[in-house]
Structure 1
Amino acid sequence: MSKRYLAIWFPYLLTDQMAVKQEELLGTAYALIAQERNKQMIVNVSSEANKQGLRANMPLADARITLPSLQTFKFQPQKEQKLLNAMAEWFIRFTPQVALNPPDGLFLDITGCTAWKSEEQHIEEIKSHFTGKYHIKLGIADTLGAAWAIAHYTKGQIAKPNEQLQHLLNLPAKALRLEEATLQRLAKLGFHSIDSFIHIAPSTLRRRFGEKINLKIGQALGHKPEAFEAITEPNPYEERLHCIEPIQTAKGIEIAIESLLENLCNRLQKDDVGVRNATLSAFRLDGKLQQISIGTNQPSIHIKHLFKLFELKIKQIEPDLGIELFIMGITKVEELPKQQETFWQVQNQTDLGEIAELLDRISIKAGKNAIRRYLPQEHHWPENSIKAVTDLKEQPETEWQTQKPRPTVLLNQPEPIQVSAPIPDYPPMTFTYKNEVHRIAKADGPERIEQEWWLSEGKHRDYYYVEDEKGQRYWLFRSGHYDIKVAAQWFIHGFFA
């Protein structure tokens, strides 16, 4: 299949955007200006200003002579780039392959995208969306160069496959995107249109005009390659679903999700990989994008389970006037386990997959970081004695230490507290944590934990298990020995259930 490209040109990109935001500018002549050395130059003009003879790169003083009533605004280049990026993201609804053509154009690789709509229908849909908002010109051809030329120098045409030459012949030489110096040399020799020199031998053109003219001709005709740099990396696991009628109901969204998941999971199964992260993008009629994402604890191609995860988030999608396109992309995949394993020695040897799916559903409801798994490590220091893991199949390298009580919630780092203790080596009578005073009703300790001298230097810790008058229990410690000359440092390190 030959490549097909759609070139899009917004001749008044920035000025049209201003008119969209400020309706009083519609139908008026205005320009964007910038300071260049010691004079002000026009960078962009509105369509009305263009009709009255104003052009980009014209000194503002000359423009004022032609049109004294011209309104001017400061040119902000960062806005132009930001707007073009936003336009590119909007066009992803037509194809995942969208490239920037600064400062005011885009390229779309629409190869294979005409199974749902014809090229003519795509053009009409794009034009209807921008009518009354942005001036837009379009061209379709087998090559980027030909599509660009058609968009910029015709009223908008579609060059059928392998017919780009016929569409280029009557266009001006500048339609090949040649350098200004080359265009001037061509004009001096009377070569004003492409048909006047395109059939000249390449060696002759190279001697007269340099190698670049042959490169541009070759790229326009498809004889030489031209780089296409999409704004997003192509996703090998992505499915699209165009809607015959706009979808406005939750049931319609569910049907779309099931259809997309079925196609994706069949492809994933053939490659022996499963879903770890997936995103559903819903493109509304008003141009706005709605997205929901899911994640799993282990690779999965279980369609019902993945659907349930998306189903829990469907309420976050607001269809408004309706959704016209759904795109589901698998953003992270991992190899499927070769055999089903078990973890956590429970009596009925619960299947790992079932536990993982349960955790996935809880994570969707409670939050991504609501569920964590920890394993023990060979360390005395409490904060180093456990490690967080994401793999449900990972087994502990040592046994959990259960000889002495440990808090169910351990702070990543101990936090300082203020205490009142009756005599040295006694637990405190009260302690203040986050501006709240806790009166101790019961206490046990101390349990001394020495610093791991082979890893770092520091004082030992004397830990106490305390319970306040409200029945809440805490794990406190004093750092180092009691010293009458220096106030003892106390910390809170955890909370018991």
Structure 2
Amino acid sequence: MKKRFLSLWFRHLKTDWMTVCKPYLQKYPFVLAIKKQGRLIVNASNLLAEKEGIYPGMAVADAKAFFPSLIVINEQSGLAEKLLDFIAHWCLRYSPNVGCDNPDGIILDISGCAHLWGGEKHYLKKVVSRFQEHGYDVLGGIADTIGAAWAVARFSEGDKIIEVGKQLNALLALDPLALRLEPVQIQRLQSLGLKSIGSFAGMPRSVLRRRFGNSLLLRLDQATGIEDEHFIAIKPIIPYEERLPCLEVISTAEGIELALEKLLSKLCERLSGEGKGLREAALNCHRIDGKIEQITIGTSRATAQTKHLIQLFALKIPQIEPALGIELFTLEATKIEDVDPLQENLWDNPIGLKNPFVTELLDRLKSKDPTCEILRYVPAAHYWPERSMKIASTIDEIATVAWQTARPRPTRLLRVPEHIDVTAPIPDYPPLLFRYKGETYHVKKADGPERIEREWWIDQGEHRDYYYVEDLKGRRFWLYRSGHYDGYMDQWFIHGFFA
């Protein structure tokens, strides 16, 4: 795909009018100017200032002499950079690859984007008109290279769109300033009477290098496409992202769901073709007022099933506030994993964790209640009960060791063993009864002891003697005594419950 770039030039972009000038304009509905180091840097008013002969760059004293009622305020340091960064993020609705062109420009890589707005002409008109509606004085240019787009946006009086491969012809009549040259080089060109790019573009390169250095040739080559030029994007490109601009703004849940279906079908088709599935995804809704509404989902295993993912997102669509309307949707797969394609067979029935309906149900349960936590455990290579299992990273993670089945283990293991009072006939015998949370349990059957030694290379402490006991009501418990009986005090604990 041929690269195409859009350069936006914000003339007089020095501060944020809404935060700085609005209080003054409410009090002084006349002329307002902003100064820096004793000179005007912008007129933040209507055309009255220009009619009075006031222009950016004029000394404040001269401006006040022309128009005594002129209100002058100081520039706020760093505010222009913050505003430019905000504008660049706002432009993400028009291209996923946007960068700041300090001090007063934005660069967009619009390759493959313009057709979504009906072509480059309509695309440029749409972008510029949106900024003009918000009070910005902006010009734009489109070309194959960043340098050519930058040049026509600022210096071309005619068409701001350069056809593919025609950037050299479009640059010949422009001022050398359009090449982003150093002031020393501009002065030298002017002193030699070279007042246009065409007046020196055809000269031998050795002559240009000797008189103006390599930087002039580099800028000329970048603008014409001989040398590549790159910019730093404000946001890394997400490999698995789909975008859907809207011809008309969307403000209903039905419209959002339809847009989501289109995005998911495209994304899942790509993922399926590459043998991948998503684990986490985010839907970003860009509103016309500049704000972004976002909802996210997560899945227990990697999947590219459109129907299931739509159900997960549908549970969170009511959280979106469209306000005056949404003009762009972006769907990002923020976490991707490899997935094995399901081998469907007429005679096979997927059961257990391999059944996709089980994992889809778990996903819906977690999406309905953010506090819901569903975990799967797999065995770990430890005999100490608290370390004998671990949380699986995925629902179908394959265990590296087998479960310990030589002796009974409880269905529910307490995270921290709880102290109990026990009556036993002699130290090595199982309990006759025990008290737990104010209730007395009389032991009917018991099995044990099973001694489990502490893993001394991990921590120090006493061993445990475990007993598997059943009370008169058939309830079964896993009890243990910590350490040897010392004749003074027994440390008995309850550690689990059997089904």
**Same structural fold, with TM-score higher than 0.5 when normalized by the shorter chain:** yes
Q: Secondary structure at the match of 1:126?
A: helix
Structure 1 gaps of 5+ residues are 34-39, 431-437, 466-472
C-alpha distance in structure 1 between counterparts of 2:96 and 2:287, whole Å: 17
1:272 and 2:275 matched = yes
2:415: which partner in 1? 410
Output the CA distance in 1 between the equivalents of 2:495 and 2:203: 83
| 2:226 maps to 1:233 | no
Q: TM-score, normalised by structure 1?
A: 0.77
Deviation at 1:173, TM superposition (A): 1.6
- The partner residue of 1:454 within 454, 457, 461 is 457
Change (3 A) 1:476 1:144: farther
The match for 1:18 is 17
* SS class of match (1:233): coil
Q: Contact (CA 8 Å) 1:20, 1:133: kept in 2 or not? A: no
Task: Provide the residue aligned with 1:124 in structure 2.
Answer: 125
Shift of 1:226: 0.7
CA gap 1:62/1:460 in 2 versus in 1, 3 angstroms:
farther
Distance 2:124 2:351 in 1: 61
| Alpha carbons of structure 1 residues 491 and 323: separation in structure 2 relative to 1, 3 Å | farther
The percentage of counterpart residues that share the same residue type is 42
- The answer to whether the 8 Å contact 2:477/2:498 transfers is yes
Amino acid at match of 2:128: K
Matches of residues 190-339 of structure 1 in structure 2 within 5 Å?
A: 190-339=193-342
| SS in structure 2 at match of 1:183 | helix
TM-score, structure 2 as length reference: 0.77
**What SS is found at the alignment partner of 1:115?**
helix
1:4 aligns to 2:33 (yes or no): no
Deviation string, structure 1 residues 98-151 (Cα, Å, up to 9, x no partner): 122123221111122232322222222223322243222211122111111122
Deviates more, 1:302-311 or 1:319-328: 319-328
Aligned match for 2:381, one of 364, 373, 378: 378
Q: Which structure has the bigger radius of gyration?
A: 2
CA distance in 1, matches of 2:219, 2:168: 13
Question: Structure 1 residues 47 and 257, CA, compared in 2 at 3 Å: closer, same or farther?
Answer: same
Distance 2:207 2:328 in 1: 51
Counterparts of 2:151 and 2:33, CA distance in 1: 27
Query: 1:45 corresponds to which letter in structure 2?
Result: V
Asked if the contact 2:276–2:336 (Cα under 8 Å) also holds between the matched residues in 1, the reply is yes
- Say whether the 8 Å CA contact 1:451–1:458 is kept in structure 2: yes
* 1:421/1:277 CA distance change after superposition, 3 Å: closer
Judging changes above 3 Å, is the alpha-carbon distance between structure 1 residues 479 and 82 closer, same or farther for their aligned structure 2 residues?
farther
Give the unaligned 5+ runs of structure 2.
469-475
Task: Specify the SS of the correspondent of 1:13.
Answer: coil
Secondary structure in 2 matching 1:255 = helix
- Give SS of 2:219's match: helix
Amino acid at match of 2:22: E
Contact 2:434 / 2:440 at 8 angstroms: preserved in 1?
A: no
Which one of 138, 148, 151 corresponds to residue 149 of structure 1? 151
Q: CA deviation at 1:479?
A: 8.2
Query: For residue 42 of structure 2, what is the amino acid of its counterpart?
Result: V
CA 1:494–1:110: 2 relative to 1, 3 Å = farther
Report if aligned partners of 1:173, 1:193 keep a CA contact under 8 Å in 2: yes
C-alpha RMSD over aligned residues: 4.4
Residues 159 and 167 in structure 1, CA contact (< 8 A), matched pair in contact too: yes
Q: How far is the alpha carbon of 1:23 from its aligned partner?
A: 2.1
Summarize deviations over 1:372-394 as a string: whole Å, max 9, x none: 11112232444322211122222
The partner residue of 1:45 within 42, 45, 61 is 42
Q: How far did residue 96 of structure 1 move?
A: 1.2
Q: Tell me by how many angstroms 1:452 deviates.
A: 1.0
Does the CA contact (< 8 Å) of 2:365 and 2:372 recur in 1?
no
Q: Give the whole-Å Cα distance in 2 for the aligned partners of 1:362 and 1:295.
A: 11
Q: Is the 8 A contact 2:54 2:63 kept in 1?
A: no
How big is each residue's C-alpha offset from its partner over 1:4-62, in whole Å with a ceiling of 9 and x where there is no partner? 211012233342x23366424456433364xxxxxx5769534558972343xx98888
**Counterpart Cα distance in 2 of 1:263 and 1:274:** 13
State the 1:255 CA deviation.
1.7
Give the C-alpha shift of residue 192 in structure 1.
3.1
- Secondary structure in 2 aligned to 1:320? coil
Paired positions, count: 465
- Structure 1 CA distance for aligned equivalents of residues 350 and 162 of structure 2: 69
Could you tell me which residue of structure 2 aligns to residue 435 of structure 1?
none
The 1:13/1:25 distance shift into structure 2, 3 A limit, reads farther
C-alpha distance in 2, partners of 1:456/1:21? 62
Q: Distance in 2 between matches of 1:448 and 1:42?
A: 87
